[in-house]
Amino acid sequence: MRWDHIIRNGEIVTPSATYTANIYIKDGKIAAINEEELNGDAKEITDASGLHILPGLIDTHVHSRDGGATYKEDFYHSTQAAAAGGITTIFEMPNTNPTINTVENFKKQVNNLQSKAHVNFGIWGICLGDLNNKDLLPLTEAGVIGFKYFWGYAVNKNTFQLVYNYSEDMVDVIAPCDDGQVFEMFEEVAKTGRSFGIHAENSDLINHLTKQLEQKDADDYNAFLASRPNLAEELTIQTGIAMAKQTGARLHILHVSTAEGVKLIREAQQEGYPITAETCPHYLFLTNEDYREIGPVMKVYPLVKFKKDQEAIWEGINDGTISFVCSDHAPHTSEEKDGDLWTIPAGMCGVETLAPLMLNAVSEGKITLQQLVALLSENPAKQFDVYPQKGTIQVGSDADITIVNLNKRHVIKTEDLHSKSKITAYDGFEITGMPVQTIVNGTTVMKNGDIIFKPLGELVTPK
């Protein structure tokens, strides 16, 4: 047989053009793209008449919690959720157990994830300051997709797990890095040439305000917001940018949630520094006002902020300050999410609803479909040095493809999610435009919402 898979008559979308052609796949790669029919049979044939063909969508920010907290989520479920939502590659966050602080743990994680991967996957490395500065170059060699620093978090001395509510009297806990240690970390990451993603929230400010406010207005989202204000993000982004200017680190601001953040990043970019940023659907489609209706499931760090922030983030998307959108998929169980706003864990599902929500934004005229391709495929692929293997439909590229129906209507329902813990702020949201087929390494893994193939995903490493 000449081809493995032929996709006929679809409209192929790139960030700069839209055209109708057939795609011919062989051995997991795009082997030909042609307006005329080419000779030869195929094992699989897809008729994509009336549908749009996008380069496989990438979600760069996923916490599948495998290992460590697999009672909340695991890689088998999160990658099914990804495939169901039209995502062909995810990048897995490193705050797992074991955490991804050494080459040994990176290799263990590759083995752990491989057999459960319904989509392709990259793995982030973690920065723990003095504890693993020496491991950053070896991790780079081994193939981490980038490095993440949870700024302001303490670390357990024995397990290297992040400590979420640090206080100085805790035993077996290493205090958060001081600015001197962070500066050295920036110098070490700069040497690797990889993207350096930071969780930007100033924990000193947050801890101080939390002590003041926690007792007062226990259940009010706005009081909670006052304890984790815009200033917390602004301070850490500002420090991060200053350190990146000094060290040359390729600073990437994770999940931008404030107008102040967007402004600082834009100014640094205008000065010519290679600072990049991402945001997530919750900052684009929700505001503090939604808490009344949605409640604690929408608690996520950084918190969803105000209307003016949402508007500034959209402006950042439209002028290119923010170069891509990702989910920050971080499920907890519904029991854990049901409780006092101040103490329940932060995070919700996202990998399955990322592309539907962005397609709906296309249907509402907020962005174009070509922009969506840039935001969910080409830009993240370029950012993490996996382009043109990923992020484009070209001869020679991996045959990762997302087929979408721009007219398909869909209602997001919590119970339909593929994740182990089904937690979403978007229950009841009406969407126009849905991924209808997810093709990974040339094989269809999702069709019309159903997972139809076994795990076949492969590790993705930067070039």
- 300 touches, from ligand DOR, Zn ion, none (C-beta below 5 to 8 Å by class): ligand DOR
Contact 97, 128 (CB under 8 A): no
Q: Please say whether the dihedral angle defined by the alpha carbons of residues 291, 420, 145 and 325, taken in this order, is positive or negative.
A: negative
Q: Helix axis angle, 179-192 relative to 230-247, nearest 10°? A: 50
- 122 touches, from ligand DOR, Zn ion, none (C-beta below 5 to 8 Å by class): none
Closest approach of Zn ion to the CB of residue 93, in Å: 6
Q: In this structure, what token pair is assigned to residue 29?
A: 């790669």
Cβ proximity to Zn ion: between 95 and 441 the closer is 95
CA-nearest of 223, 253, 230 to 151 is 253
Cβ proximity to ligand DOR: between 56 and 296 the closer is 296
Strands 154-156 and 162-163: antiparallel
Question: Token match 């070509």: residue?
Answer: 370
328 binds Zn ion per the rule CB under 5 A: yes
Q: In this structure, what token pair is assigned to residue 384?
A: 């993490």
Closest approach of Zn ion to the CB of residue 56, in Å: 22
Amino acid, single-letter form, for residue 79: T
Closest approach of ligand DOR to the CB of residue 63, in Å: 4
Cβ proximity to ligand DOR: between 161 and 192 the closer is 161
Which residues share a beta bridge with 11?
20, 52
Q: In this structure, what token pair is assigned to residue 312?
A: 């500034």
- 301 touches, from Zn ion, ligand DOR, none (C-beta below 5 to 8 Å by class): ligand DOR
Closest approach of Zn ion to the CB of residue 406, in Å: 30
Would you tell me which residues interact with ligand DOR (CB under 6 A)? 63, 95, 199, 300-301, 330, 345-347
Closest approach of ligand DOR to the CB of residue 23, in Å: 37
Cβ proximity to ligand DOR: between 273 and 301 the closer is 301
Cβ proximity to Zn ion: between 24 and 426 the closer is 426
Cβ proximity to ligand DOR: between 105 and 421 the closer is 421
Q: Any idea what the Cα angle at residue 80 is, between residues 78 and 83, rounded to 5°?
A: 110
Pairwise CA distance, residues 96 & 103, whole Å: 14
- 79 touches, from ligand DOR, Zn ion, none (C-beta below 5 to 8 Å by class): none
- 347 touches, from Zn ion, ligand DOR, none (C-beta below 5 to 8 Å by class): ligand DOR
Question: Does residue 203 sit in helix, strand or coil?
Answer: helix
Residues that bind Zn ion (CB under 5 A): 328
